Structures are given as C-alpha cells and as structure tokens.
C-alpha cells in the first residue's frame, strides 16, 4: 500500500472532487491512516501532503491522531498550505 502512495502525485486539478457546499470542493481521493501506528501515520500523511493530497481519512479508533496531527502541523508550518486547504474525514465511534 505504501508503494502506491510514494509513486503517485496529485495536483488539485487532477483529482476528481465533489461539491459539499457552495464553493467547497472536496477531493474524492484521500490518504487513509487505518492500521498505522502514530509514527507510520505521521510519515504517510506527511508524504501524502507533500505529494499533493488534501484529503486525510482517519478515526478516533485508529489511535494515531498524534502522528496525523504532527504531520498536518508540520505541513502547514513548512509551506503555504493552510488548514482550510485540507479535508479531514473521521468516523463516529
């Protein structure tokens, strides 16, 4: 699974989107974090955001929120990326 992540790159115009509110288009392709510990989730999310992903799928029951959060914070601190650019998808336990 990681192999595919590291060989793909997306631009905002190349990923299909769905309009979820007027003027708000969410990318249909996202990076998943299921079955990753916090360390792996951090690395995967950081790489995905660097490749152009803007949709991160996670859940409270994955127990890797610390890693996901660190990757997002680092991406925002290290670029022109803002929180408004990202879609974080979760599940209700």
Burial 13-28 (b: 16+ CB within 10 A, else e): eebebeeeeeeeeebe
The residue annotated as part of the active site, out of 32, 44, 58, 62, is 62
d(C-alpha 53, C-alpha 27), whole Å: 8
Q: Which two tokens stand for residue 83?
A: 């929180």
| Catalytic site includes residue 62 | yes
- Dihedral sign (CA 27, 23, 19, 24): positive
> Active-site positions?
62
């Amino acid at each position: 699974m990681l192999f595919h992540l590291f060989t793909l790159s997306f631009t905002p115009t190349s990923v299909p989107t769905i309009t979820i509110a007027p003027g708000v288009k969410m990318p249909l392709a996202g990076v998943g974090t299921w079955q990753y510990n916090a360390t792996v989730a951090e690395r995967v999310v950081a790489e995905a955001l660097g490749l152009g992903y803007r949709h991160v799928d996670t859940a409270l029951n994955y127990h890797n929120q610390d890693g996901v959060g660190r990757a997002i914070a680092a991406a925002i601190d290290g670029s022109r990326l803002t929180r408004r650019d990202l879609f974080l998808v979760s599940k209700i336990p």
